[in-house]
Amino acid sequence: MLLTGGVSQVEGAAGGGLVPWAVVSGYDTGGQWGGNVHATRVRTGEFNLDTYGVAVGVNDRLELTLARQIFDTRAAGAALGLGANFKFEQNIVGAKLKIMGDTVLDADTWMPQVAVGIQYKQNQQGDVVRAVGARSDSGTDFYVAATKLFLAQSVLVNGTVRMTKANQFGLLGFGGPNGNSYKPQAELSAAYLFRKDLAAGAEFRTKPNNLAFAREQSAKDIFVAWAPNKYLSLTAAYVDLGDIATVRNQHGWYLSGQAGF
C-alpha cells in the first residue's frame, strides 16, 4: 500500500497536506531507516505559501523532520502596510514517536496506530508579528494522532488533537490579545484508496483565534494523491484557509511533490 504512509504535510510531518498522521516517514521497518524530501506550493487569491523540508524515519518508530515555510504576501502586502511581496519565513523542527498499533498490520482489527509529536516553530519576522499583536515569535505545538486503515473498505481515517498557541500555523507568531495559553485544536483526515497508488480525500483543521486585529478560521482541503512507486508521490488539492490577516476568503490550490530514500 504505497499511500498508507501519507505524504508531507505543510509543517513537514508525515500525514495529509494539513494534518500530521500517526504514521512515520519512509518505508523502513525494524532495524532500518528511511525518509523523504518534499516541496509544496499553496497559492490562494492573494498569497503564496512555499514549504520544503526533509524527514527521516527510524525503525518505523521515530520520525525527525526539518521544514522551512515562506509566506509571500504578494500585492496584498502593500495594502497591509508591509510592502508588496513582503515575506514571512518560519523554520520548523519536529519529532514524532509511534507508541502503539500498526496502520497496516492492524488493518483487520479496531486498533489504530497512535503517535505523539512535537513541532518547534521559529518565525524569522519577530518585530512584525509582535507589532500585529503576537506575544512571541516562537512556539511549540504538541499533538496526539491516531490513524486507522480499514483495508476491506479501502478507507483511511485520522484524528489529531493539537495543543498550540500558533497564529496562522505560526506565520503570524504565537499568542495575542485574545489569548496566550495552549488551546486544543481538532484536525481530521479521511481518504479513499482507489488503488494502491491512488487516493483521494478531505481534511479539516481548526485554529485558535488569538489576534485582535483579524479573525482566524478553520482550514480545509480536498486532495488527490498519486504514488507511482514507493519513492515518489504527487499531491494536488483545493484548499480553503479562510481569512488571513484582514484579507477575506483565501482559497486556491495546493501542489506537493515528495521523493523518498
State the pLDDT at residue 21.
Answer: 98
**Residue 201 domain-assigned?**
yes
Task: Check pLDDT > 90 for residue 30.
Answer: no
CATH number of the domain encompassing residue 69: 2.40.160.40
**Residue 2 domain-assigned?**
no
Model confidence over 37-54: pLDDT tens digits?
Answer: 999 999 999 999 999 999
Model confidence over 132-190: pLDDT tens digits?
Answer: 999 999 999 999 999 999 999 999 999 999 999 999 999 999 999 999 999 999 999 99
Structural domain count of the chain = 1
**Residue 24 domain-assigned?**
yes
**Residue 63 domain-assigned?**
yes
Instruction: Kindly state the average pLDDT of the residues 217-242.
Output: 96
**Residue 37 domain-assigned?**
yes
**Residue 53 domain-assigned?**
yes
State the pLDDT at residue 80.
Answer: 86
**Residue 193 domain-assigned?**
yes
State the pLDDT at residue 3.
Answer: 85
Model confidence over 3-27: pLDDT tens digits?
Answer: 888 899 999 999 999 999 999 998 7
Task: Check pLDDT > 70 for residue 28.
Answer: no
Cell numbers describing residue 225: 494523491
Range of the domain at 89: 7-260
Q: Which of 15, 67, 38 is nearest to 189 (CA)?
A: 15
